Chains A and B, each alone.
Chain A
Amino acid sequence: MSFDDAYDALTDHDDDARWAYGTGFSDPLAGVPTAVPDGVDPADLAAYCLMLGDDALVMSHRLQQWVTRAPELEDEMALANIGLDLLGQARLLLSRAGEVEQAGIEQAGFENAGGPARDEDALAYLRDPADFRNVRLAERADEDFAHLVARLLVFATWRLALLDRLTSSRDPVLAAIGAKGVKEATYHREYAAGWVVRLGDGTDLSHTRMRAAVDAVEPPAGELFEPHEVELRLAAAGVAVDPSALREEYDGVLAEVHRVATLPPPPPFEAATVGAGRDGVHGPELVEILNEMQELARAVPGGVW
């Protein structure tokens, strides 16, 4: 090993396998049974996995953008870890979406028509904004740290309630992703709620800014509870969660956090004025995220390093 070149010294040439970055990651679902539950349309199940996977992927990217910008080092580590949990959930869900999509193609009699199944990388790096199915909340840029923790509180409270119900899904893969995700999302919600309380019940200035943040972030969150037709069909089949059923738990948690944070009760949801992210209608903020996230994969198609 040479120490003339710092990078060369860091790379142990006999031990390339230790480097956990770059390409060539193994399938996170390797060995997990791939069957689609009876009576379920694979296209619906694939679309649903994309919805939940894209929520996690896009939110994870927004959290990563806070690393090096958070008020304290400890918060950068927290946001990086929360983003990493969500990225892990996204990998599982996008892998599942690709598998189920392929099962649907084969079930329809078009064997190999589409080539090999789209894997997690193809779904993350090679889709256009209109093919993303995340809720608009996930893609929003944060004006300041108070906006971030307000948005994370909404997102984590809703996702925790969703993943908890997903544990009884008839699809064993979704049920398992839900069970694992509940443990993680519990910490995400706790982190966000802790900051909303700390800022809301802090100084006059922090209170004012925290209140402005919840007033900006919470009213548009009604989209989270609007069921898409895919969600309704799969919920009827015992596979998905009807998001309108999450409203009671969400309202209870938000009301309690606002109370302890000495903030006024949560403002009502505003009527939807923008298109639904679940249908692929997104704002320029998602385009900005994808430009950043997909740049290398699109510049060097099929590149490995």
Chain B
Amino acid sequence: MVNRTETTRAPAPPEAAAVTSGATALRSTGAGIGPARAGSPSAFDVVGAVVDPELPVVTLAELGIVREVAETDDGVVVTITPTYSGCPAMETIRDDIVRAVDGAGLGRAHVRTVLAPAWTTDWISESGRAKLAAAGIAPPGAAPRRGAGPVPLVLGVRQEPVACPQCGHAESERLAAFSATACRELRRCLACREPFEHVKEI
């Protein structure tokens, strides 16, 4: 038997200069890649369509954690990158990927981890951001970039404005730096006074 390996890579991480291009690149590449199969979705599409267990409004592809999907004779090898070191959803995400690949008739999936480069919220796609906002969760702005030297100390409230996902008002205040999951903070709109969650930039 001829050993067949088809690999679909997510795009390279954005360069340091391109602050917001990562998400755009991921989206534009995500639709057009994957081995062509008449009438059946590619493994990348199947894996990418799995929803995040803690933010079920977005898919793994939209979240930007699927780095590579390779179809081999031994099954589908999926490489994902964790969002946070301790994210408890990673176990569920692995199981969901295995079941989705099996359910699509693509055989057994092997889920591997890649730690570098570290995941950044810049990899959340435009459609993912729109879905988060529609669900009442303010999407992240551009992740902070730093030059050489120590991580700058921030005292007091961060000044970046976060728009209210409910009424659209441009300004809100932070209620708590940590919310239901490590990746979100709790804020309140200064106009409609409704509290909402915001995906923190990392």
From B37-45, B127-135, B151-159, B162-170, give the one contacting chain A. Answer: B151-159
Cβ-based interface call for A78 (8 A): yes
- Inter-subunit contact B92/A253 (CB<8 Å): no
Contact residues of A: prevailing secondary structure: helix
- CB < 8 Å neighbour of A182 from B86, B115, B116, B151: B151
In the complex, the answer to whether B151 meets A31 with C-beta atoms within 8 Å is: no
Residues in chain B near residue A187, CB distance under 8 A: 177-178, 200
Task: Check A249–B115 contact: CB distance below 8 A.
Answer: no
Q: Closest Cβ of chain B: how far from A239's Cβ, in Å?
A: 16
Q: Output the least CB separation between B191 and chain A (Å).
A: 22
With contacts defined as CB atoms under 8 Å apart, how many contacts are there between chain A and chain B in the complex? 127
| Contact status A20-B89, CB under 8 Å | yes
Say which size band chain A's interface belongs to.
35 or more
Do A18 and B85 touch (CB < 8 A)? no
Residues in A whose Cβ lies below 8 Å from that of B87: 88
Stretch of B18-26, B57-65, B106-114 with 4 or more beta carbons under 8 angstroms from chain A:
B106-114
A78 with B111, Cβ < 8 A, contacts A18-B95, A88-B85, A160-B151 known: no
Interfacial chain A residues near B90, Cβ < 8 Å: 28
Q: A175: which of B53, B92, B116, B154 is its contact (CB, 8 Å)?
A: B116
- Of residues 165 through 190 on chain B, the ones whose CB sits less than 8 Å from some CB of chain A are 175-182, 186
CB-CB under 8 A from B117, the residues of chain A are 179
Query: B residues within 8 A CB of A260?
Result: 155
Q: Is the CB of B113 within 8 A of A30?
A: yes
Among B118, B120, B176, max chain A CB count under 10 A is at: B118
Residue pair B85, A181 in contact (C-beta under 8 Å): yes
B72 within 8 A of A: no
Residue of B119, B153, B179 ringed by the most chain A CB atoms within 10 A: B153
Q: Bound state CA distance, A190 and B111, in angstroms?
A: 34
Residue A82 lies at the interface, judged by CB distance under 8 Å to chain B: yes
Main secondary structure of the interface of B (DSSP, over half): loop
Tell me the bound Cα distance from A193 to B154 in angstroms: 9
A25-36 contact mask (Cβ, 8 Å, vs B): 1 or 0:
110111110000
Given contacts A25-B91, A186-B151, contact A180 B178 (CB under 8 A): no
Q: Indicate if A177 sits at the interface (CB-CB under 8 A).
A: yes
When distances are taken between beta carbons in the complex, the residues of chain B under 8 Å from A86 are: 86
List, in ascending order, chain A residues with CB within 8 A of B112's CB.
30-32
* Chain A residues in 8 Å Cβ range of B86: 84-89, 91
Q: Which chain A residue has the least Cβ–Cβ distance from B144?
A: A186
Query: Which residues of the other chain, B, contact A78 by a CB distance below 8 angstroms?
Result: 176-178
Which of B82, B115, B177 is in CB contact (< 8 Å) with A190?
Answer: B177
Asked if A256 meets B153 with Cβ closer than 8 Å, knowing A17-B92, A18-B53, A183-B118, the reply is yes
- Which residues of B in the span 45-80 have a Cβ within 8 Å of any Cβ on A? 53, 79
Do B153 and A89 touch across chains, with their CB atoms under 8 A apart?
Answer: no
Residue with the greatest number of chain B CB neighbours at <10 A, chosen from A86, A88, A197: A88
Contact of A161 among B115, B150, B154, B176 (CB under 8 A): B150
11 contacts between A and B (CB under 8 A): A32-B113, A74-B175, A81-B178, A81-B181, A85-B84, A164-B151, A180-B82, A180-B118, A183-B202, A184-B84, A256-B155
Known A88-B85, A92-B115, A181-B85; further 9 A-B contacts with Cβ < 8 A = A28-B82, A28-B113, A31-B79, A32-B113, A84-B84, A172-B116, A173-B115, A179-B117, A191-B178
